[in-house]
Amino acid sequence: MKVRVIVTLKNGVLDPQGRAIHHALEGLGFEGVNDVRAGRVIELDVADSTSDAALDEMCAKLLANMVIENYRIEKAA
């Protein structure tokens, strides 16, 4: 089973990388970019029997830092 974990910074947490990307886009002449937040995508290939609880645990224990980040799990159809 292919699983995609999308890790994003929590709202309210300053994102220096997102801000730098934002500035760079503006520098390239792109207009109308209101905000940029950078995150991380982690693709897993796991046994079909892997439970949702186990996936949650992987995210909370390692893939995301729950102090500053949220995660979302997407399973490939």
Dist CA 50 CA 22 (whole Å)? 38
CA 71 to chain centre: 6
Residue 46 Cβ vs another protein, minimum distance, rounded to whole Å: 17
Task: Out of 6, 25, 68, 73, name the contact with another protein by CB under 8 A.
Answer: 68
Which of the stretches 28-36, 44-52, 62-70 binds another protein when contact is defined by CB under 8 A? 62-70
Rg, the chain, Cα only: 16
Total residues at interface with another protein (CB under 8 A)? 11
Dist CA 18 CA 2 (whole Å)? 28
Binding site for another protein (CB under 8 A): 13-14, 16-17, 20, 61-63, 65, 67-68
